[in-house]
Structure 1
């Protein structure tokens, strides 16, 4: 196994383990559900949300057939990203793809285990009487966003010759 592929696999496993460990701890040990909203800072709360849709809660009312279709799409995407990762020519792109794969697998595990993705992190800001909330998310989502950012950065700063597949 090449060192580049190894770094991508390590990123995928790390993202998956951190995501699943955080969710299991919050659900089973900390018991976030019965606690309701837990204020951590004036701008960050822990709150349990079950996302049956995809990004930002889209397609939440898709039903069992829609859930199966989402899982099939996710499996195909993970396979394609894995092929891309195996052929990647830069460490940053390989790690970014690993983060995306690990995050996608983490959310897929939730969907299989619970029928929904476990989201728990909520950033918000209060301006006057109005509170503005960001979307509720989890560590898998963070890994996916970081992976996409790594791919974008790599696409702009790495010379074309270094990006050629191995």
Structure 2
């Protein structure tokens, strides 16, 4: 799942941003207002937080993402996870590493998806890696085993 998420994200960015030249035209209404392509350069984390654009913050974010991916992979290998949790871990790691590659290649994460609905005009853009990270985290929350131990006290 990690490889699939990584490749799908990178391929989507290549097609939309480079082949369709979104970097140049900046905006394409696909199914307005629900789905639009809007060019974005995210130098921070979600919603541009911590995006001061400095080289130091770029490398801190790369390092943090790699450490988190390593932690998730180590945990997933040491834990008997059901298939859905394994898939979630893969999606999270693949999405995070796809965004790391963007930071290494461009200095920022390429974003292009924008979704609005029902009178709400969403100003934010994101990419498929962000979707995979979110979906992977949700899958881990709901499908990873709960290893809490119950206390004998009170029984």
- Aligned residue in 2 for 1:96: 88
Alignment coverage as a number of residue pairs:
146
Contact 1:85/1:98 (<8 A) preserved: no
Alignment of 1:66-105 (within 5 A): 66-89=57-80, 90-105=82-97
Contact 1:39/1:46 (<8 A) preserved: yes
Contact 2:44/2:53 (<8 A) preserved: yes
- Aligned residue in 2 for 1:33: 23
- Aligned residue in 2 for 1:140: 129
Alignment of 1:2-13 (within 5 A): 11-13=1-3
Query: Which of these residues, 97, 106, 118, is aligned with residue 114 of structure 1?
Result: 106
Contact 2:27/2:39 (<8 A) preserved: yes
SS in 1 for 2:115: strand
Structure 2: 5+ residue stretches without partners = 148-155
Contact 1:96/1:151 (<8 A) preserved: yes
Q: What TM-score results when the alignment is normalised by the length of structure 2? A: 0.87
Give the Cα–Cα distance (whole angstroms) in 2 for the partners of residues 116 and 145 of structure 1: 19
In the TM superposition, what is the alpha-carbon distance from 1:62 to its structure 2 partner? 4.9
- Aligned residue in 2 for 1:19: 9
Contact 1:15/1:99 (<8 A) preserved: yes
Structure 1: 5+ residue stretches without partners = 1-10, 161-166
Give the Cα–Cα distance (whole angstroms) in 2 for the partners of residues 104 and 117 of structure 1: 11
- Considering only aligned residues, what root-mean-square deviation do their CA atoms show, in Å? 1.8
Greater share of residues in strand: 1
Give the Cα–Cα distance (whole angstroms) in 1 for the partners of residues 66 and 95 of structure 2: 12
- Aligned residue in 2 for 1:149: 138
Runs of 4+ in 1 over 6 A off after TM superposition: none
Greater share of residues in helix: 1
Gap change, CA 1:62 and 1:29, over 3 Å in 2: closer
- Aligned residue in 2 for 1:52: 43
